Structure 1
Amino acid sequence: MSDSAVVPPGIGETFSREAEPAVIVTQHKPSRSFPDSLKSRSTWARLALAAASGFVLYLAFPGIDLWPLAPVGVAGLALATHGVSKKFGALLGFVFGLVFFLRLIPWIGIFVGAFPWIALSVTEALYLTAMGALLPLVWRVRGGLGGLLLASGGLWVAQEMIRGSWPFGGFPWGRLAFSQSEAPTAGLASIGGAPLVSFAVAVAGTLLAWVVLKVWQARALPWRAGPGLVAVLAVMGVGLLIPLPTEGDSTTRVAAIQGNVPRIGLDFNAQRRAVLDNHVQATLELAERVRNGEAEQPDVVLWPENASDIDPLINADAAAEISAATDAIGVPILIGAVLQGPDDHVTNAGIVWRPSEGAGTGDDSTYAKRHPAPFAEYIPYRDFFRNFSKKVDLVTRDFISGDELRENPVGVMRMGVDDQVRVGDVICFEVAYDSLVRESVQAGATMLAVQTNNATFGYTAESVQQLAQSRLRAIETGRTVVNISTVGVSGIILPDGTTAARSGHYTQEVLEATVPLRTELTIATRVGAWPEWILSALGLALLAGSAVAARRRTDDRKTQ
């Protein structure tokens, strides 16, 4: 090192004494401390870095699917918030979050206008705002590099946990884990679920930021970052060491019917009979191919959400059509239907329809969606929100939650030969909620069906974002997951995350595969929400300790 170089502080000093300047051996050249350099130029540099980092994180998600960029986005926000005040950190978090969500979920407003899309993006960005206010404290956490990484990873997990649960049950879309379904990190889901995957990405991103900062402060050549980058790759690749199941206790033949719709958009069901006819027709054609020896006889047939928006429990014509399809294929069909009632509500339901019997009865034959989507399937505080958009009245009747009906609360249905297949029903956005999926498997589901309808989102990335969530759930639970949509993209996913069959978008297709059925629970399913709570608590505890230490140092200075 030359006599004019900056002597970098030790690791402990770097993070616990951040406000102290680096030691300058001579005064010939100014310090190249990263935060000081940015401060001397403009706060706009940090704002630009936060915005760019939010966009980079968006690129990691399905639709673009450059999953290695997820830790890069995390690293950019970490660098932007290094050495700033809590208030400015909050602003940086908001900018990061707003850019990220505006790019990730434009499908929210594709048929209802920009207001819902922008409003939801702003709301979600507020959680990143709170996290941004705390990120400057992360850099001052005691415990050296280990404390830094634990605090950062725990903070990301805590932010996602709160965002995914409040208000109105939360909106978990955009979790770091949901960008990783095709990445090595996905294997971690079988140990600690989606929270552990998000934790690993956050740790890798923060470690990357630390490497960049150390190289910058030490005036080192970029190649000196080699060991640190190897450590980042190790964190992102550790999931490869986790064995994932490829076989089960038995197998079953499954057929998933993607019937397609006559038109896209909010009025996809304006021709409700045509939607039902499409699914009946595709099933009858499958039955014909089975009779001709052109296809294997399925044990389980799955239809998507909204396959019958005509209530087949009160409409004889719809019931007759479904019965004709069921009798032809010779095995039960799990149909997605909209039921009238109770009272002035409607119900988003999955119903097992049996040959020669019709709609099944009892807890093992019906399931009502437990988490209707707010502002889509029901309108909370309708009079208040009508002041912002008259489109709330497009939802003329609110869907009721299955929790209120108390019927088959976890959605495990008996299907297949002699009812030996236990299918856990998950309807649409429910796949994004850890507990809803986990409880179904804990109750005995040997495979999962994700019934969904993507017709209201047009030709957007929403369908592949949801399919990626189903793939992560397969790894997390060790179960075959069949993600079946009215319009696609649908897929049959094996317990190790491998896609056995996949459909196109806005096509009529029948997906078929012989899949394993498993009863053994993964570690993630056994431990439940504990990893999320532990990681969150650990991160917040470290941050609280950092805040207390910072306050004491401030008080000490005042008394000197």
Structure 2
Amino acid sequence: MRLALAVCAGLCLWLSFPDLNVWPLAIVGVALLALATRGARARTGFLLGLVCGLAYFLPVLKWAGTYVGSFPWIALSVTEALYMALMGAACSFVQSARRIERLPHWLSPADGPHVRPFAIALLWLLQEAVRGSMPFGGFPWARLAWSQAGTPLAHLASIAGAPGLSFAVALAGGGLAVSLDRLRRGTPSGMMRRLAPAAAVVVLVPLSGVVPTPTGGPKMNVVGIQGDVPTAGLEFNAQRRAVLDDHVRETDVAIKMVRAGEIPQPDLVVWPENSSDIDPTRNPDAATEIIQAVNRVKAPLIVGAVLQQPSPDVSNASLLYEPGKGIVATYIKQHPVPFAEYIPYRSFFRFFSKKVDLVRADFAAGHKTGLFTIPTKNLGPVKVGPVICFEVAYDSLVHAAVAKGAQLLVVQTNNATFGYTAESEQQLAISRIRAIETGRSVVHISTVGVSGLITPDGTVHDKSRLFTAKVLSGALPLRSSMTLADRLGRLPEIVGSAAALVLLLLAYGGTRIGETRHLSRRKKEVHEVV
């Protein structure tokens, strides 16, 4: 039964994410894992967490093996599942009444093993914090928070960020588990008491939508160019000039739309990541093509480019062009993706898969937060924070741009290597949560989609389809005020993680004291018998 609950928990978590988006199942998934680990030994909890993690990450990360085979996908999924296994062991540990008899009553009822919702939520937060930071900088994909884009709970991201939103989802799951546990155990406390935690969850979800997510502010006319690629998959890299030409051609379509009055003259045009894999700082043809496009569109243009520096490495860059000036600012991606943009310990991992050599040159990491100043005719200088691809999933990188004064966020990505999978929608969901969390509009632009213009309430406008060419146009509000999540930064995650560690220490202390008392009672009983 425990194994069945763990499998169902993982599948529910997967189904809560795009493309399926059955978001209440994230709460159900947490509840089922809490029930599976209740009263179990720690090593059993480890196994249950591992099973749940595999049922969760194998389907949700299926896109990782789209064109490179099963090994990278399975290796990544198993690695992520190990964090769930450790969390499962911790959940079992803290949910044993004998082991935590010294904890406060609201965390640890003394009449037997029970679900502890606050403990469960804190341990989820700790698990996501560790998983998102190590190894190699971590991989914070498939966090509970990312499953809630477009839901009432998403509004909570503006209070305590993505970690706080994950905590709220896990706490709701813990509350649901308490009611299910009481119903199963048939506790004599009455039906109302049994259902009270579940009722609190039902009330919490719509009430979360009351949290304000302001969208006011001066409007900036933005155009995003989704140029598409000639071929889906890894082969698109061999057609770099065609990809650049596609984005120039679609920019000319936008110019025609402006002249026809279909869209307003843009204050800013954004191309996606890898829109120019030909280094325009070294290749005159590519440079000329981009500069001419900038001069024709008569607006600043942000281009995603690969720079052949610092040799022998390369750089994933955002380049800001201005009409008549060329490149005026550069941002280098600070968090290249391990095993995709660089290979750590290449000789070691080559032993497992020769595909590591598909990455011929490693991408070097940038060391400065990006902030572009965009000159506009009616709004004055506008501060824009560039974020490249998977960087959008890392809290510190996004918050750093806002802290430097970004009024608008630009997420440039390339999803061509993931085909027609859920990866694009999953990434768009992250950008939606970031918009609410930071109170900023987000230009989410991909080479092949899914792209969209996102207002600070997380609403997507002018959304595109996969593998189509499209001009995205919209007037996005600019905001400079800081949300509470912006001001708190990493504090909620640090405090919550510390509280989870203290909880584990108290549980360990309770175990030692409980074992000592048990041994003393046994000695006393033996002495009386003798």
User: Common fold, TM-score beyond 0.5?
Assistant: yes
Q: Which amino acid aligns with 2:158?
A: S
- Give the whole-Å Cα distance in 1 for the aligned partners of 2:142 and 2:461: 25
The residue aligned with 1:175 is 143
- Check conservation: 1:445, 1:519, Cα contact below 8 A: yes
- Paired residue for 2:372, among 413, 419, 426? 413
The residue aligned with 1:50 is 6
- Paired residue for 1:440, among 381, 401, 404? 401
Q: Tell me whether 91-100 or 284-293 shows the greater mean CA deviation.
A: 284-293
- Paired residue for 2:210, among 241, 261, 280? 241
**Is 1:377 aligned to 2:341, yes or no?**
yes
The residue aligned with 1:96 is 52
- Check conservation: 2:179, 2:196, Cα contact below 8 A: no
- Aligned-pair distance for 1:117? 0.4
- Give the whole-Å Cα distance in 1 for the aligned partners of 2:222 and 2:254: 12
- Paired residue for 2:362, among 398, 401, 405? 398
The residue aligned with 2:500 is 539
The residue aligned with 1:232 is 201
- Paired residue for 1:211, among 176, 179, 190? 179
- Paired residue for 2:280, among 292, 298, 312? 312
The alignment-based identity, stated in percent, is: 52
- Aligned-pair distance for 1:359? 1.5
- Aligned-pair distance for 1:223? 8.1
Q: Deviations over 1:396-423 (max 9, x none)?
A: 00000002xxxxx111101241561211
- Give the whole-Å Cα distance in 1 for the aligned partners of 2:347 and 2:450: 36
1:515 match: secondary structure: strand
Which structure 2 residues correspond to residues 79-478 of structure 1 after superposition, within 5 A?
79-139=35-95, 140=97, 141=100, 142-145=103-106, 148-218=116-186, 225-248=194-217, 250-360=218-328, 365-403=329-367, 409-417=368-376, 420-478=381-439
- Give the whole-Å Cα distance in 2 for the aligned partners of 1:526 and 1:463: 29
Q: Which amino acid aligns with 1:235?
A: L
- Give the whole-Å Cα distance in 1 for the aligned partners of 2:128 and 2:68: 27
Q: Deviations over 1:345-398 (max 9, x none)?
A: 1100000111112111xxxx1100000000000000000000000000000000
1:267 match: secondary structure: helix
Which structure 2 residues correspond to residues 504-523 of structure 1 after superposition, within 5 A?
504-523=465-484
2:473 match: secondary structure: strand
- Aligned-pair distance for 1:448? 0.2
- Give the whole-Å Cα distance in 2 for the aligned partners of 1:294 and 1:207: 51
- Give the whole-Å Cα distance in 1 for the aligned partners of 2:331 and 2:155: 30
- Aligned-pair distance for 1:236? 3.0
- Give the whole-Å Cα distance in 1 for the aligned partners of 2:506 and 2:262: 67
- Check conservation: 1:59, 1:65, Cα contact below 8 A: yes
- Check conservation: 1:200, 1:236, Cα contact below 8 A: no
- Give the whole-Å Cα distance in 2 for the aligned partners of 1:192 and 1:500: 25
Compute the TM-score of the two structures, normalised by the length of structure 2.
0.93
Structure 1: segments with no counterpart, 5+ residues: 1-44, 404-408
- Aligned-pair distance for 1:272? 0.7
Change (3 A) 1:235 1:550: farther
Q: Tell me whether 218-227 or 338-347 shows the greater mean CA deviation.
A: 218-227
- Give the whole-Å Cα distance in 2 for the aligned partners of 1:550 and 1:233: 35
- Aligned-pair distance for 1:256? 0.3
1:384 match: secondary structure: helix
Change (3 A) 1:226 1:559: closer
- Give the whole-Å Cα distance in 1 for the aligned partners of 2:173 and 2:461: 32
Compute the TM-score of the two structures, normalised by the length of structure 1.
0.88
- Check conservation: 1:151, 1:543, Cα contact below 8 A: no
The residue aligned with 1:7 is none
- Check conservation: 2:244, 2:276, Cα contact below 8 A: yes
2:457 match: secondary structure: coil
- Aligned-pair distance for 1:51? 1.0
Q: Deviations over 1:118-137 (max 9, x none)?
A: 00111111111111111023
Aligned residues: 506
1:133 match: secondary structure: helix
Q: Tell me whether 158-167 or 409-418 shows the greater mean CA deviation.
A: 409-418
1:241 match: secondary structure: coil
Q: Which amino acid aligns with 2:515?
A: T
1:79 match: secondary structure: helix
Q: Deviations over 1:269-302 (max 9, x none)?
A: 2111110011001111111221232321010100
Q: Deviations over 1:283-335 (max 9, x none)?
A: 11111221232321010100000000001111111111111111111011000
- Give the whole-Å Cα distance in 1 for the aligned partners of 2:185 and 2:490: 40
The residue aligned with 1:12 is none
- Give the whole-Å Cα distance in 2 for the aligned partners of 1:333 and 1:66: 37
- Aligned-pair distance for 1:154? 1.1
- Give the whole-Å Cα distance in 1 for the aligned partners of 2:39 and 2:488: 37
- Give the whole-Å Cα distance in 1 for the aligned partners of 2:519 and 2:94: 24
- Check conservation: 2:159, 2:483, Cα contact below 8 A: yes
Cα RMSD (Å) of the superposition? 1.4
Q: Tell me whether 131-140 or 376-385 shows the greater mean CA deviation.
A: 131-140
- Give the whole-Å Cα distance in 2 for the aligned partners of 1:246 and 1:445: 16
- Give the whole-Å Cα distance in 2 for the aligned partners of 1:218 and 1:475: 41
- Give the whole-Å Cα distance in 1 for the aligned partners of 2:27 and 2:520: 42
**Is 1:71 aligned to 2:39, yes or no?**
no
